[in-house]
């Protein structure tokens, strides 16, 4: 790898698993405990806003009990020390990249610590406990919702993210099952741009065959080792 290479990194729930945050599709993961249609769709929110708001309140509260792990910290070290650009795109709604020291993170599926007005799209820092019908501080409509991208909604910043993928020299996906689009299509986009592609996971993901290189094992070990290789430390 050249020192000026642009490195684009997609992270998923697996990077936060060693911090104690459940993934979605593990046997005992979040989707084994909650119906996706109930808690992660706009229709579910319209049907039962209290259930959905409470689901995200509980996950927001959990953030106080978890800390970044060596994988988050290694990526922050890479961002600070690599001469080329490092772009981290996360599907995660936790704030562990930021608390691990990363300056810029693209949260394509939203953030637990953010609230969104369904009436005017205004965003603000979410209180620890949101309630259905909370008022928007900007337009005052009782239309606050968790700032989370649910199924059927457009993930954030897609134009900017595809521009980064189209200019990538290296593309790495860390701890994501490759089941959810458009993120699962990023490896194909990066390969079209000529990037070298690496997957970090405990096992091959649903799109694992599209990667040129695999690093198998817990991200807390494989990611710091990779960053050491790149930085020559």
Which among 2-10, 22-30, 43-51, 80-88 is the span making contact with ligand BJW, rule CB under 6 A?
A: 22-30
Q: Does 177 bind ligand BJW (CB under 6 A)?
A: yes
User: Angle at CA 181, nearest 5°, toward 97 and 214?
Assistant: 65
The C-alpha atoms of residue 180 and residue 62 are separated, in whole angstroms, by: 24
CB of 205 to ligand BJW, least distance (A): 5
For the CB of residue 149, give the shortest distance to ligand BJW in the complex, in Å: 5
| Spatial separation of the C-alpha atoms in residues 50 and 53, rounded to whole Å | 5
Burial 172-208 (b: 16+ CB within 10 A, else e): bbbbbbbebeebbebbebbbebebbbbbbbeeebebe
Of 179, 192, 212, 229, the one binding ligand BJW by CB under 6 A: 179
Smallest gap from residue 81 Cβ to ligand BJW (A): 23
Neighbour tally for 51: CB within 10 Å: 15
Residues carrying an active site annotation: 109
Distance of alpha carbon 94 from alpha carbon 72, whole angstroms:
12
Q: Coil, strand or helix: which one is 63?
A: helix
Interaction residues for ligand BJW, span 195-214 (CB under 6 A): 200-203, 205
* Gyration radius of the chain's alpha carbons: 18
Q: Which of 7, 13, 87, 165 binds ligand BJW (CB under 6 A)?
A: 13
Mark the segment that binds ligand BJW (CB under 6 A) among 76-84, 118-126, 163-171, 179-187: 179-187
Q: Which residue lies nearer to ligand BJW by CB, 89 or 170?
A: 89
Question: Interface with ligand BJW by CB under 6 A: which residues?
Answer: 12-14, 17-18, 23-25, 29, 40, 91, 93, 109, 148-155, 158, 175-177, 179-182, 200-203, 205, 218-219
């Amino acid at each position: 790898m050249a020192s000026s290479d642009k490195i684009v990194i997609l992270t998923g729930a697996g990077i936060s698993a060693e911090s104690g945050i459940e993934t979605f599709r593990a046997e005992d993961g979040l989707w084994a405990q909650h119906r996706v249609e109930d808690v992660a769709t706009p229709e579910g929110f319209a049907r039962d806003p209290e259930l959905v708001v409470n689901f995200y309140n509980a996950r927001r509260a959990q953030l106080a009990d978890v800390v970044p792990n060596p994988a988050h910290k290694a990526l922050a070290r890479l961002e600070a020390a690599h001469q080329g650009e490092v772009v981290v795109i996360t599907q995660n709604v936790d704030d562990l990249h930021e608390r691990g020291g990363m300056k810029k993170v693209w949260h394509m599926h939203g953030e637990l610590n953010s609230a969104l007005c369904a009436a005017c799209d205004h965003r603000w820092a979410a209180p620890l406990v949101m309630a259905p019908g909370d008022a928007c501080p900007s337009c005052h409509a009782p239309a606050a919702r968790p700032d989370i991208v649910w199924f059927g909604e457009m993930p954030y910043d897609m134009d900017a993210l595809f521009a980064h993928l189209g200019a990538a020299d290296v593309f790495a996906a860390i701890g994501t099952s490759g089941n959810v689009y458009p993120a699962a299509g990023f490896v194909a986009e990066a390969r079209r741009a000529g990037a070298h592609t690496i997957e970090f996971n405990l096992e091959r993901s649903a799109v694992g065959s599209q990667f040129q290189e695999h690093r198998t094992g817990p991200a807390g070990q494989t990611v710091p080792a990779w960053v050491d290789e790149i930085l020559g430390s």
